A and B are shown apart, each in its own frame.
Chain A
């Protein structure tokens, strides 16, 4: 697998349901971040979780990080049609200077 690989690749749910997206990575990280991208637009930062944190909340978003399994999950509760977008995880790899490495992304469709 690649550094920052999300699954599933695509997810379709009904409005009001919860959406769970997963990310796996290969190497040691300083932090992991989730971003959202609406079609044809730039990426928007959602949440950052540091390597010494296990869970973080922001509004309807909940992120977990398991460094022993090198994985993270993003949960969006009570989804809305406006949550329809692509979601990317990105890792700040230990010793990697300054860049973030992004995964391929998950396409989330929320049906009204």
Chain B
């Protein structure tokens, strides 16, 4: 069964550095998402992406964050000037018709900011 893949599985970075989290969504899906989960807490929506542009973003997704689909397969989340509170699991997801269908999640990237 097709799956969403995320790399790296774990990223350690120093405060103030930039990180890029990578995702390969399921190939025929049209909607792409980033969510994050601080340890043991709720799964928080960051951004959704459709038709090569952001369709919705949360208050968390400020100027520090950006997303890109640089080619036909990858979907990236860039976090500039990382802060300690950015430490979390970041999940990429994709779906074929948005929220009206199941989301398929990757196994996440654990970001640790020191």
**Which residues on A are within 8 Å of B, measured CB to CB?**
30-31, 33, 35, 40-45, 48, 88, 90, 92-93, 96-105
Contact = CB atoms under 8 A, between A and B. Distances in A.
Given A48-B102, A98-B98, A42 B108 contact: yes
Contacts of B102: 33, 45, 48
Interface string B70-114: 000000000000000000000101000011111111111000000
A104 B41 contact: yes
B42 A97 contact: no
Contacts, number: 68
A31 B100 contact: yes
Nearest to B49: A98
B68 interface: no
Contacts of A30: 99-100
B42 A98 contact: no
A44 B104 CA distance: 7
Nearest to A30: B100
Q: Which interface residue of B93, B99, B100 has the most chain A CB atoms within 10 A?
A: B99
Contacts of A93: 99
25 contacts: A31-B99, A35-B105, A40-B108, A41-B107, A42-B91, A42-B106, A43-B43, A43-B91, A43-B103, A45-B103, A90-B103, A92-B99, A93-B99, A97-B55, A97-B56, A97-B99, A98-B31, A98-B55, A99-B33, A99-B45, A102-B35, A102-B42, A102-B43, A102-B45, A105-B42
Interface string B25-54: 000000101010000011111001010000
A14 B43 CA distance: 27
B103 A97 contact: no
Contacts of A41: 107-108
